[in-house]
Amino acid sequence: MKRGLGRLLSAILVFIGGAPAAPAGEEVKIGAIYPLTGAAASTGLELKNAVELAAEMINHGAQGLNLPLAGNAGLPGLKGAKIRLVFGDHQSNPQIGATEAERLITQEKVVALIGCYASNVTATASQVAERYGVPFLNPDSSSATLTQRNFKWFFRTTPHDELFVRNFFVFLKALETKRGIRPKRIALMNENTLWGTETTKLEEKLAKEQGYNIVETVIYPAKSTQLTSEVQRLKASSPDLLMQSSYLGDAILSIKSYQELGFTPQAILANDAGFNDSEFLRTLGKAGNYVLSREVWALDLTSRNPLIKQVNDIYFKRFKTNFNGNSARAFTGLYTLAEAINRAGSTQPEAMRKALTETNIGGDKLIMPWQGIKFDATGQNTLGSGIIVQVQHGKYVTVWPFELASADVIWPMPAWDKR
Amino acid sequence: MSVEIVLQTLLSGLLIGLVYALVAVGLTMIFGVMDIVNFAHGEFLMFGMYASFWLFSLYKLDPLFTLPLTALLLFALGAAVYQTVVRRIIHASMLSQIFTTFGLMILFRGIAQFLWKPDFRSIDNSLVSGAVRLGALQFGLPQIVAGAGAILATALIWWFLDRTRLGVALEATAADREAAQLMGIPVQRMFTIAWGIAAACAGIAGGLLSTFYPVFPEVGANFILIAFVVVALGGFGSVTGAFLAGIIVGLVEVVGGFLIGPQLKLALVLLLYLLVVLLRPQGLLGRA
Amino acid sequence: MSRRVLLSIAVLAAASAAPWVVSNPSRQNFLILAMMTAQLAVAWNILGGYAGQVSFGHAAFYGLGAYTSSVLLIQFGLSPWIGILAGGVLAMLFALLIGWPCFKLKGHYFAIATIAVAEIVQVIFTNWRAVGGAVGLYLPLREEGLKAFVFHASKLPYYYIALGLLVLTLLVSQTIERSFLGHYFRAIKDEPEAARSLGVNLTRYKLVAIAASSFLTAAGGTLYAQKELFIDPGSVMATSLSVKIALASILGGVGSLFGPVIGAGILTGIEEVTRQFFGGSGRGTDLILYGMIILAVAVYYPHGVIGGFKAWSQRRAARARSGSTG
């Protein structure tokens, strides 16, 4: 009943003239909403770069690469139409995200949206898209709630936090089986924002299910000037394993604090974000070693799929840095969107939407370590998964799944003064 | 909860409190001398951090040694800001002044992002890095140096205000502008110097912080609220008050955060402020 | 006087007709945002402009309004139209509670106290899982229509509700300005000692001001919640929001009826334009521009736009007078 109502609603919206159906002419305009100023601006720019590169490669054909749409300049299904990106800056503000979505749809007349990284901005921006009946492709927001809204026009390629946290515990289980390592005491530390709080809730739930002992949960406000109270509490609880969710600034600050205050658990298992940012290792150098982190992408996976290194080389040449989980997902997201539009053969909203629901891209055509891209009824890609990487000798190496691993997990990590 | 952890927590609180104190001293001085609350003070801190960072990054000069240069650069910036902008609004209403410094804040953040991009930068491997051990206790060296530096800088300021002719003239201007003018004190110059010193204080604090805190255009936002609270707690215009209040705030934040929960640490500081000013409306050492 | 009434009617008529002329939903949205900001600025002005008690913590009232109506809706199915009143009352009670001790403080101490209170409220809501905590609240959006206070198909209902709320707030503001309350507020602002010596109970009237101001601000919060359908502490309780509405009032001209409206319009306009044309690059040029405009206005038009306009019209009148004899 609800789905039917939703369908009726969308049909009415489209009819009233919300979503434009541009003729399959010269270009296909896609709106990209990212944090280009404000606290998350450095990530936002990375995502912008990645999406721009993807658009360029689609438009020029990406010869010789096993990517979707390769070998054809532009979108062959739309007579070679080129992708044109129009960017919006949401400044990490949900209301601005919604405003930008509205502007891109109604003024810039984009046919689809991609974005927004921060889950609370994706929440409002995708709502706007849903109201207008415009496909919204989300490559990089991990809040599970985003696909629990029964939306028709929302498609997410990245796995979400529930899956990622499950990855943690599958990893721990596998580690126990393989090497007999089992952390008896686990401490959780998260930033007091949407993502951090959700992650901790999931970790608490799954830890309980699987019989792990959580000895301390430290929640700290983002933008803290120092983390000493937090570290002291961690020290006082003597955990074997620390599971942490922090963005870049706090990730750097916390590692430095651990070093300075002498906090050395056996391992730190981080939930991506700050710990995988390009700046993390550049800043911390050796201090960043041995950190384990959930990732979505790693360069050493190229041994399984040479496409990864090939595309990374192009990205590196342009931007002087390797892909990371965020940029790789954004790149993949635009390709997914373009591939669907191409199959639709038009920018008619319903045609694009239908094509998206029928997406089935094989894992070999992706630079992600996923089995592929296929959306379920809630718009979630079910073939994605995370990996676990560890920083060894200043580089991120894949350590799990063991079939994809290029190195063994180093556990426990050596004390700070012994490095 | 062992004795070591308690001691370590206390010392950590003291150390960060000293840095807060240094930031607040500059802010309170401007207020004391000309009744203006500088919303852009956090941006002086930010520029100080960037100065320290670039001197390290480009010329391999350790922040410890470049502190005087950073202080000088920020002094020049503060004085320039006064001469170009603030001078025009000394007689305006409180609201206008707030509005002006707010505009400066946004402008500075925009400039920083334009020049240096929003990426986080950090100084790694400075001379001042790593840990220091005192028996069973362990502390971060950057924090200790920052605390010591803050004490030194604040002491210098205090000495300047109390023992030098220029400093006394500044205090006179703060106490009674018209009388000072009648005594022949060049008030405009006093104001310029006050802004220069205030910016230099924030700059030194920034330089000290840069040894362990990440540098990015919006970093000022993380410190400015605490700075305001410290200034108000100590009493607007009182340098000694700001110093004491800074230490108190640091202790409450770290110790309170440890005991009650880090997610509430800011709330504890703010509650302390409310309690103090409601019982003693002029803050600890402010003019009644 | 009557010229003002005529002008007001003309503006109201234009505002009512505007959405039929401006058919682009994105531009309609801009007008709605401007009106919402204006409504908040006018509400703020009652306390900050008329009574001279500068608050940088109004986001607490806004957030309380948004959260009250949303929680009542999500957990008890209470209509947002009742929720908006409940939110207003709750915010008002809260305002009276904290106003009573805080009004002992003066000037900058008071301003920072307001920031402190609002930040504490934000910390509480960020950690309060039962009302969403840091994750925030999604408002139900399946039901649509006037009863549900949710509109998908068109922006017009939101437009008129925002306009209606703004007009209501202006009426309250004007009524206060013209009544004895207005006199007392002005006295409290300009000559508090004289007022006290004449037997005016300063605290009582400051409380009246904050009660009206907080109620109206909270109503604006409910409107935001029903429009965006997602709230979290960062979006409805942040200090940056408090500063923005104070700024709108200051920009337009504090202590005047329409000043806050004009200021809100300009501020929203500048934000939109700078973000649209300069924001996409990520270089911060929009911030630079925004900052410079604020500086220019603050330095050269300290009494806000209204003040600048008054000065200009006075100069013009003076010139006309001297011109007629020349």
Q: State the Cα–Cα distance between residues C268 and C61, nearest whole angstrom.
A: 21
Q: What are the counts of helices (DSSP H) followed by strands (DSSP E) for chain A? A: 12, 14
pLDDT at A13: 45
Distance CA C325, CA C48 (A): 43
Where on the phi/psi map is residue C122: left (φ > 0), alpha (ψ -120 to 50), or beta? alpha
Query: Does some domain include residue B287?
Result: no
Element (H, E) at B143: helix B141-163
Does B5 contact A at CB distance below 8 Å?
yes
Dist. CA C30–CA C158, nearest whole Å:
12
Q: Which of A136, A88, A150, A17 shows the shortest CA–CA distance to C155?
A: A17
pLDDT at A20: 46
Domain total in chain B? 1
| Tokens at B153, concatenated | 């800088």
DSSP code for A394: T
Residue A246 near residue A191 (C-beta atoms within 8 A): yes
In this prediction, residue A83 carries a pLDDT of 95
Alpha carbon of A398: minimum distance to chain B alpha carbons (Å): 25
A84: three-class secondary structure by DSSP: strand
Helix (H, G, I), strand (E, B) or coil at B4: helix
Residues 6 or more apart whose CB falls under 8 angstroms from that of A171 comprise A388, A400
Closest partner residue to C153 (CB to CB) among A12, A88, A123 is A12
Q: Is the distance from CB of C48 to CB of C55 less than 8 angstroms?
A: yes
Reduced to 3 states (helix: H, G, I; strand: E, B; else coil), residue A269 is: strand
Rounded Cα distance between A373 and A157, Å, is 7
Burial degree of C9 (CB within 10 A; 0-12, 13-18, 19+): exposed
Residue pair A87/A48 in contact (Cβ under 8 Å)? The answer is yes
Provide the pLDDT confidence category of residue C143 given band limits of 50, 70 and 90. confident
Closest by Cα among A59, A83, A85 to A72: A59
Q: Any chain C CB within 8 A of the CB of A17?
A: no
Q: Would you state the pLDDT for residue B1?
A: 64
Taking the CA atoms of chain B, what radius of gyration do you get in angstroms?
19
User: Do C119 and C216 meet the contact criterion of CB atoms below 8 Å apart?
Assistant: no
Task: State the Cα–Cα distance between residues B49 and C179, nearest whole angstrom.
Answer: 53
Cα of C71 to nearest chain A Cα, Å: 18
CB C121 within 8 A of CB C63: yes
The two three-digit tokens of residue B137, written as one number: 């206790």
d(CA B230, CA C305): 34
Backbone angles phi, psi at B176, to 5 degrees: -155, 100
Nearest to A42 among B119, B223, B266 (CB): B119
With beta carbons less than 8 A apart as the criterion, state whether C51 and C185 touch.
Answer: yes
* For range C4-8, the mean pLDDT: 83
C165 φ/ψ angles, rounded to the nearest 5 degrees:
-65, -40
In angstroms, the CA C60 to CA C118 distance is 5
Angle between helices B41-59 and B3-34 (to 10 degrees): 110
Tokens of A304: 């399984």
Per-residue pLDDT of B94-103, as tens digits, reads 778 888 898 8
Beta pairing class for A27-34 and A214-220: unpaired
**Which chains are adjacent to chain B, needing at least 3 Cβ pairs under 8 Å?**
A, C
How far apart CA A39 and CA A250 sit, in angstroms, is: 12
Q: Is the peptide bond before A116 cis (omega within 30 degrees of 0)?
A: yes
The tens digit of pLDDT for each residue in A244-253 reads 999 888 898 8
CB spacing of B111 vs C288 below 8 angstroms: yes
pLDDT mean values, one per 10 residues, chain A (419 residues)? 44 41 70 87 90 94 86 88 94 91 93 94 94 95 90 95 92 93 94 87 93 94 87 92 90 90 92 83 86 91 90 94 92 96 94 96 93 95 93 92 91 84
On the CB side of C94, CA atoms within 13 Å amount to: 26
Is B288 within a domain? no
Most C-contacting residue of B83, B107, B249, B263 (CB-CB within 10 A), to test interface: B107
Q: CB distance A127–C279 less than 8 Å? A: no
Whether residue C173 is predicted with pLDDT greater than 90 in this model: the reply is: yes
Average pLDDT over residues C168-179: 94
Residue range(s) defining the domain that contains residue B125: 3-279
Q: How far is CA B209 from the centre of its chain?
A: 11
For strands C230-231 and C137-138, give the pairing: antiparallel
Contact indicator for C217, C58 with CB cutoff of 8 Å: yes
DSSP state, residue A153: S
Is the Cβ–Cβ distance between B60 and B231 less than 8 Å? no
Q: Is residue B285 part of a domain?
A: no
Q: How far is CA A240 from CA A213, A309, A413, B1, in A?
A: 10, 36, 11, 18
If you ran DSSP here, which 8-state letter would residue A387 be given?
A: E
For chain C, give the mean pLDDT.
Answer: 89
Domain boundaries, chain C: 3-237
Flag whether B12 is in a domain.
yes
**Torsions phi, psi for A387 (to 5 deg):** -130, 170
Query: CB under 8 Å to C230, separation ≥6 — which residues?
Result: A94, A120, A123, A124, A127, C136, C137, C138, C139
pLDDT of residue A23: 47
**Main-chain phi, psi angles of A415, to 5 degrees:** -65, 160
CA angle, corner C63, sides to B105 and C57, nearest 5? Answer: 45
C187 touches chain B (CB under 8 A): no
Q: State whether residue C148 is helix, strand or coil.
A: coil
3-state secondary structure of A68: coil
- The H or E element spanning position A57 is helix A41-60
What pLDDT was estimated at residue A242? 96
**Model confidence band, residue B288 (pLDDT cutoffs 50, 70, 90):** low
End-to-end Cα spacing for chain C: 31
CATH number, domain containing residue B199: 1.10.3470
Pairing of strands A267-270, A241-245: parallel
Which residue of A lies nearest to C150 if distances are taken between CA atoms? A131
Residues 195-254 of C with CB under 8 A from B: 239, 243, 247, 250-251, 254
- The pLDDT tens digits of the residues spanning B50-93 come to 999 999 999 989 888 999 999 999 999 999 999 999 999 888 87
Alpha helices in chain C (DSSP H): 2-21, 25-45, 59-76, 80-102, 107-127, 156-178, 180-190, 192-197, 202-228, 233-236, 239-252, 259-278, 285-300, 304-325
Shortest alpha-carbon distance between residue C254 and chain A (Å)? 26
Residues A55, A331: Cα–Cα separation, whole Å:
9
b/e burial code for range C218-246 (CB count within 10 A of at least 16 → b): bbbbbbbbbbbbbbbbbbbbbbebbbbbb
pLDDT in tens, B197-233: 999 999 999 999 998 898 989 899 889 989 999 998 9
Asked whether residue B187 is assigned to any structural domain, the reply reads: yes
Q: Chain C partners of B112 at a C-beta cutoff of 8 Å?
A: 284
Close Cβ partners of B91 (under 8 Å, ≥ 6 residues apart): none
Interface list for B 169-198 with C (CB within 8 A) = none
Q: Given a cut of 70, is residue C279 above it in pLDDT? A: no
Place of tokens 């056996």: A266
pLDDT tens digit string along C67-80?
Answer: 999 999 999 999 99
Q: What residues contact residue A195 under an 8 Å CB cut-off, 6+ apart?
A: A119, A142, A143, A161, A245, A273
Q: Answer yes or no: do C26 and A124 touch at CB < 8 A.
A: no
Least confident of A25-34, B124-133, C307-316: B124-133
The single residue listed with the structure tokens 């994809």 is A404
Residues C221 and C36: their CA atoms lie apart, in Å, by 9
Give the angle subtended at the CA of B34 by the CAs of B28 and B36, to the nearest 5°: 65
Q: How many CB pairs under 8 A join A and C?
A: 102
pLDDT digits (tens, 9 = 90+) for B231-275: 989 988 889 999 999 999 999 999 999 999 888 888 999 998 888
Closest CA to B112 of B55, B66, B63, B43: B43
Give the total residue count for chain C: 326
Q: What was the pLDDT predicted at A10?
A: 43
| A285: Cβ contacts below 8 Å, ≥ 6 apart | A394, B124, B125
Mean pLDDT of C4-13: 86
**Sign of the dihedral defined by the CA atoms of residues B36, B37, B42, B45, in that order:** positive
Q: Which of B93, B96, B238 to mutate to test the interface with C (most CBs of C within 10 A)?
A: B96
B116 in contact with C, Cβ within 8 Å: no
What is the mean predicted confidence (pLDDT) over C43-61? 93
Residues in chain B: 288
